[in-house]
Amino acid sequence: MHGVELTESKNILVVGGGNMGRALVGGWLGNGHAPARIHVVDPSDDARAAMATLGVTASAELAEMPDAVDLVMLAVKPQQLENVVPAYRTLCQHGPVVLSIAAGKRIGFFERILGADVALVRAMPNTPAAIGQGMTVLTANARVSAQQRSLCESLMRAVGDVAWLDDENLMDAVTAVSGSGPAYVFLLIECLTDAAVAVGLDRKLARQLAERTVAGAGAYAESSEANAGELRRQVTSPGGTTEAALDILMSEDGLPALLRRAVAAANERSRELA
C-alpha cells in the first residue's frame, strides 16, 4: 500500500457507503484514522451493515450526523447527485472541504448546488484503490486552503498514489486513462487468456499466466528507472518470439493506434457527460 499515516484525526462525513466508499474508509482506518471520527450516510441497510463491520457509525439520514465536520466526501453515483447533494448545502457552508469522487461531475456543478463560497476538491480514483493500489488525480477550486488540500491528499494517498491538476479540463483525459484504464487491462488479461487457450493451454493455466504476467510486468515497470519503451526493447531479441508478436501488435492498425482511439473516445465521452 502507498498510504501514509493520518496523523490528524479529522471528523469526516462520507455520503455513500458503496464499494469505493468502503475501500476508502478501510484505507483510512488502516492508516490510523480513528473510526469514531468517521460517519457514513447511506440509505442501504447492506451498506450500513458493511460499515459497522469496520467499526464505523453509519446512518440512513444526515440528521443523525454530529455537528463538527472537517470534510464531506461525496461518494454516490453521478446520476444520484442532483437529488442527494442539496441536503448538504447548509452543512457545507459551515467550513468543511467537500471532496467529490463522482466521475464526470465538474466543480461548477457542486458550486451551483452548494454555493460558490464552498471549498471543493474533485478527485478521480480508480478501482485498484480497493486493494491499496489506486491512482487518484485531484483538482481544487480557489476556496480550498493549504490545510484542506493536504487533508484531501492524505486521505486519497491512503489507498494509492496521488497527483494534482491545476486545469480541471484535463480531468476528462485522466478519466480516459486511469479512471477507465483498469478495464483496458482487464480486457488485455481476458484476450491473452483466450489467445493462450487457442494455442493449446488449458484455461486455468492460461488465466494464471495472463494475470501473473500482467501483474508482474506492471510491478517491474513501476520499480524500474527505465521507461516502458526501454523495458520493451530489453526483452525483445532480434528475430525472436517477442519480436514476432510485437510485429503484429505494433503494426499500423495495431495496439498503439487502438489505444489512442480508445482513450480519445473515452475522453470525448467524459466531456459529454460533464
pLDDT in tens, 73-115: 999 988 899 999 999 999 998 889 999 998 889 999 999 999 9
Q: Distance (Å, rounded) from C-alpha 104 to C-alpha 183?
A: 17
Q: What is the pLDDT along the chain (274 residues), one digit of tens a residue?
A: 444 445 457 899 999 998 889 989 998 998 888 898 999 999 999 999 999 999 999 999 886 555 689 999 999 988 899 999 999 999 998 889 999 998 889 999 999 999 999 999 999 999 999 899 999 999 999 999 999 999 999 999 999 999 999 999 999 999 999 999 999 999 999 999 999 999 999 999 999 999 999 999 999 999 999 999 999 999 999 999 999 999 999 999 999 999 999 999 999 998 888 7
CATH class of the 181-273 domain in this structure = mainly alpha
Domain 12-174: give its CATH superfamily: NAD(P)-binding Rossmann-like Domain (3.40.50.720)
* pLDDT tens for each residue of 126-150: 999 989 999 999 999 999 999 999 9
- Three-state DSSP class for residue 32: coil
Q: Distance (Å, rounded) from C-alpha 195 to C-alpha 68?
A: 56
Give the start-to-end residue ranges of the domains of the chain. Answer: 12-174, 181-273
Q: Distance (Å, rounded) from C-alpha 21 to C-alpha 123?
A: 13
Sort residue 264 into left (φ over 0), alpha (ψ -120 to 50) or beta: alpha
Q: Half-sphere exposure of residue 95, counting CA atoms within 13 Å on the CB side?
A: 9
Distance of CA 46 to the CA centre of its chain: 22
Paired sense of beta strands 71-74 and 12-15, if any: parallel
Question: Which ranges of 79-202 does DSSP label H, i.e. alpha helix?
Answer: 81-84, 89-92, 107-114, 146-157, 171-174, 181-198
Q: Distance (Å, rounded) from C-alpha 164 to C-alpha 259?
A: 24
